[in-house]
Amino acid sequence: MSENNKEFKPYIPAEKITPEFTETSIIMGIILAIVFGAVNAYLGLRVGLTVSASIPAAVISMGVIRVIMRKNSILESNMVQTIGSAGESLAAGAIFTMPALFLWAEEGLCDMPGLAAITLVALCGGILGVLFMIPLRSALIVKEHAVLLYPEGTACAEVLLAGEEGGSNASTVFSGMGLAAVFKFLVDGIKIIPADIAVRFRSFKGELGVEIYPALLSVGYIVGPRVASYMFAGSLFGWMVIIPLICLFGADTWMYPAAAGTAIGQLYEAGGASAIWGSYVRYIGAGAIATGGIISLIKSLPLIITTFRDALKSMRGGRDTDGARTARDLPMGIVLAGIAAMIAVIWLVPAIPVNFPGALMIVIFGFFFATVSSRMVGLIGSSNNPISGMAIATLLLATVIIKASGDSGITGMIGAISIGSVICIVAAIAGDTSQDLKTGYLLGATPVKQQVGELIGVAASALAIGGVLYLLNAAWGYGGAEVPAPQATLMKMIVEGIMGGRLPWNLVFIGVFMALALEILRIPVMPFAIGLYLPVYLNAGIMTGGVVRLCMDARKHVDEKTRERQSTDGTLYCAGMIAGEGLVGILLAILAVGGITMDLSGVLNLGTAGGLALLAVMILCLLKFSLWRRNRE
């Protein structure tokens, strides 16, 4: 242990006992785990991206515990965000893969996945992600405290330490929730304002447009102008270059996957640029995304190898045994028993179609990627963690092995997706657990209590995620405009392509070599490929939020502290808008399944002007809260 680590003293000393694992923190944490899990599931299925829930959960818990309940317990607030953030990470892992099962069921290849199967896959993956990380805590969080900064975990600790600001910060989150909820209800509830604004260039065959949803603007603001611009550039290239080229050179021809006998020109006349994108361009985008994920994994290989080696060396060095409250982990016997139990469930429960070699693969890849994820988020943050690359690599290998064993039918495809789902959730949860334990280490939390809290959050969100996936599928179906489920559609393509050749490989390879060219030019592949893979309407909305962030960050004559404070206000406000839209989206899905409609578009329709006005109001509200100045000591 370095000298710096020996001298490190947490905010709450080890010898001091304060409220932490209380009924209040557990109940609030479970509520936030379910809410943020559902919201991130909706967001990820809509736009292919999720956002961290740690800081919004922290400010909400501080607002409720300190302001409403008049309690002064920073560790209690930390426990709330520990439990609550697990829902977001589990949802992110689940939505990348599991909707593929619903898509196959819609095609008549298999039955609808059972709710028990979805819950068990999510639960096993989540619990394994937490348990695999526990032996690494001393090595990564304690011994390498000065090396691994864990950006999100450190930022969350700073938010919690600024306890006197918890109430006003919480009001920022709730303000965003309220505004986005109203906007979402106007657009998709009573439908008096169109959801998108589009411009078609019929002679050119290109198309541009923007969706006016608050979540898109918020995602763009959070990811920043650089990432948003690469995503928009991908869409611009697809909708204003590739689609016009396809229509120009192939107007009188047809090819897979367009319907036999339907010429490209006819396809365009029937469905516009969206039809060409859905039949051709998204396959190019899929090839680019898969290649980008593999490239990110290859580029990370030296770090991955070093990470795994160093983590194992540190583990062999033993863990803290001084008996201090801040050094207590779950007993290793319980950890190993839990891992064995989860593997037995995956192997033996019929609802999960994974055989013993598949369960063994989950153990090997799960621990490896959990180790990699836990250390990499400490170095480069969760946003840059190549989970998609890990998932794609696992899915490729699992599919090849299953096919080599002779099972190339739908059973093998479902087995491959199940293995990929567990591994994806393991990697996501391991990274989240690491960030939370770093926050706890800085604040002086009790590790074993945080680890139990993570397991509670995983269990709560696992029980809810199946219902959310079923609800969204029943309301709108995956693969459509409302919930396109981009990552799951990509995973489905990969498995089908390996198992049965059900892919237009010429289009996929165009995307592969496009990604390689971008990498040679040192243009970030993944955001560009995601932009190519998603409709231009989504990325234009995200780009709008990125432009707002650019205007905020480019201001002169503003000191760095003020700029950072205002940027944080905007981020919290955006997190609230994402939550507000997601919650109303889920409410509308419930109403749609129940056959309840409130469509007033035939009575009152504000048209394009109303949509533009709505977008302008959102931008102004975001600017207002970004510039919101508060007197602080």
Confidence (pLDDT) at 406 = 78
Give the gyration radius of the chain's Cα atoms. Answer: 24
Residue numbers of the chain with a pLDDT score lower than 70: 1-7, 67-68, 70, 72, 163-169, 255-261, 300, 303-304, 307-308, 310-323, 380-386, 388-389, 501-502, 599-618, 620-633
- Break the chain into its structural domains and give their ranges: 3-174+337-482
> How high is the pLDDT of residue 633?
37
3-state secondary structure of 535: coil
Q: What is the pLDDT of residue 251?
A: 79
Whats the size of the chain, residue-wise? Answer: 633
pTM: 0.79
Tell me which DSSP letter residue 149 carries: -
What pLDDT sits at residue 620? 64
pLDDT tens-digit readout, 106-140: 988 888 888 888 999 999 999 999 999 888 888 78
The three-state (H, E, C) secondary structure of 217-264, written as one string: HHHHHHHHHHHHHHHHHHHHHHHHHHHHHHHHHHCCCCCCCCCCCCCH
Pairwise CA distance, residues 551 & 224, whole Å? 11
- Partners of 208 in the β-ladder: 199
Output the pLDDT for position 313: 64
| Per-residue model confidence (pLDDT) at position 316 | 57
CA atoms of 129 and 120, how far apart (whole Å): 14
Q: Which helix (H) or strand (E) holds 199?
A: strand 196-201
pLDDT of residue 610: 59
The pLDDT value given to residue 4: 46
Burial 444-456 (b: 16+ CB within 10 A, else e): bbbbbbbbbbbbb
Q: What is the pLDDT of residues 438-487, one digit of tens each?
A: 999 999 999 999 999 999 999 999 999 989 999 999 888 898 878 888 88
Pair 169, 573: CB distance under 8 Å: no
Which residues are within 8 A (CB) of 289 and not within 5 positions of it... i.e. 6 or more apart?
388, 490, 511, 515, 526, 529, 530, 533
